[in-house]
Amino acid sequence: MDWLFFGEISLAGLAMGGLYALIALGFVIIYKATRVINFAIGEIMMFAAYLFLAFAGGMEMSPWVAVPLAVLGGALLGGVIEKTMIRPMLGESPISVVMVTIGIASILVGLVEMIWTSNPQLLPSFLPREPVFIGPMYLAPKIAYGFLIGMSVLVLYLLYFRFSRGGVALRATASDQAAAYSMGINVRRVFNLAWVFGSLAASVAGILVAATGGLSPQFGIIGLSVLVVVIVGGLDSILGALIAGVFIGWLETVAGAYLGGEYRMPATFAVLAVILVLKPYGLFGTHEIERV
């Protein structure tokens, strides 16, 4: 076995996993606060990445302007989706809400194809290009810097939730909606905030992933990998999302490198199946207790 090759692949996988963790964080924020499983998260990422393409490629803005604008656009999209399409579904069965997000995903794909055609596109490069070496192991610069940016956003998020007013409101709503409401927290705004923040995290990750791998209307497939991540980690656990994100990213890349690209999805879904059978609520998820 070639350990150097394995190391390099693992490193790339771990870096990719960091981005998965960031997306999964966005997913978990939305789930924790609003109990909505967001199947459209991959498409929100895609939309933000296309916005970046439009700003940086089409209008030739500097990446320093284009990235924040695109990320804000993605966050705004999340907020609008919540206000117009998720809010009316409040109190409906989870199945219906999931189907709404699937419908939203389809609408977003259609919009993107309409505006930017269905051809694959390359993002203008905005990350440094010097190769990165960790010891003897080479890591593609896009992936390395993507990982660094993703991680810093992730840390910012964690700090925000720990210390800021909005973050505390969000956590309070997640742990007990009625109590939060009676303590004067504007639960509706928190719902909206959760979608905005969740989409924001997804948008950052979307631009970074698209910068390494290119962009097409099929980009949203990545949402399926993220689904695996959050189920394995436990739907309502941020810690679980982080650990499972890194693990699934690593597994996917290693399986792709050693067994071939067609094994990527089955490998991660095999982990998913095992977890579902052994620990149905994920590694770190809260066990739901049903009372009749």
Partner 1 sequence: MRIGDAKQTYLADEAIWTSNTQKIWFALLLAALLAFPFMASSYLLYLGCLVGIAVISATGLNILTGYTGLISLGQAGFMGVGAYTVAWLSNNTALPFPVTLLAAGLLAAAVGILVGLPSLRVKGLYLAIATLAASVFLHFIFAEWEPVTGGMEGQSLQPAHLLGLEFRSDFAMYFIILPLAVLALLAAKNLFRTRVGRAFIAIRDRDISAEILGIPLLKYKLMSFALSSFYAGVAGGLFAYFYRVVTPESFPLSMSIFYLAAVIVGGMGNLLGGILGAAFMTLVPEALKLLTAVMTPIWPNAPVFMSPMLEIIFGALIVGFLIFEPHGLAEIWRRIRRFFHLWPFRS
DSSP letter for 261, please.
G
Q: Binding to partner 1 by residue 273, rule CB under 8 A? A: yes
Nearer to partner 1, 89 or 140 (CB): 89
Per CB under 8 A, which region of 13-21, 81-89, 168-176, 177-185 contacts partner 1?
81-89
Q: Binding to partner 1 by residue 131, rule CB under 8 A? A: no
133 forms beta bridges with 138
Considering only 129, 135, 262, 287, the residue that binds partner 1 (CB under 8 A) is 262
A 10 A CB-CB count for 203 gives 30
Token digits of residue 28: 């978990």
Nearer to partner 1, 225 or 253 (CB): 225
Token digits of residue 154: 């992730």
Strand 132-134 to 137-139 pairing: antiparallel
Q: Could you give phi then psi for residue 119, rounded to 5 degrees?
A: -75, 145
Count helices and strands in the chain by DSSP H and E runs: 11, 2
Token digits of residue 222: 């990545």
Considering only 61, 76, 102, 187, the residue that binds partner 1 (CB under 8 A) is 102
215 forms beta bridges with 121
Q: Binding to partner 1 by residue 99, rule CB under 8 A? A: yes
We find the least distance from the C-beta atom of residue 290 to partner 1, in angstroms, to be 7
Token digits of residue 83: 């206000």
Round to whole Å and give the CA distance between 206 and 43. Answer: 9
Considering only 68, 103, 128, 214, the residue that binds partner 1 (CB under 8 A) is 103
With contact defined as beta carbons under 8 Å apart, do 41 and 198 qualify?
yes
Q: Binding to partner 1 by residue 140, rule CB under 8 A? A: no
Per CB under 8 A, which region of 14-22, 150-158, 249-257, 276-284 contacts partner 1?
276-284
The CA-based dihedral angle spanning residues 176, 179, 185, 186, taken in that order and rounded to the nearest 10 degrees: 70
Tell whether the torsion through CA atoms of 24, 26, 32 and 37 is positive or negative. Answer: negative
With contact defined as beta carbons under 8 Å apart, do 181 and 53 qualify?
no
List the x/- string, 215-254, binding to partner 1 by CB under 8 A: ---------x--x---x-----------------------
Considering only 54, 61, 80, 85, the residue that binds partner 1 (CB under 8 A) is 85
b/e string for 270-289 if b means 16 or more Cβ within 10 A? ebbeebeeeeebbbbbeeee
Considering only 14, 44, 105, 244, the residue that binds partner 1 (CB under 8 A) is 105
Nearer to partner 1, 69 or 229 (CB): 229
Counting residues that bind partner 1 (by CB under 8 A) gives: 43
Considering only 143, 255, 272, 284, the residue that binds partner 1 (CB under 8 A) is 272
We find the least distance from the C-beta atom of residue 72 to partner 1, in angstroms, to be 24
Q: Binding to partner 1 by residue 109, rule CB under 8 A? A: yes
Q: Which residues bind partner 1 (CB under 8 A)?
A: 37, 85, 88-89, 92, 94-96, 98-100, 102-114, 117-118, 224, 227, 231, 262-263, 265-266, 269-270, 272-273, 276-277, 280-281, 290, 292
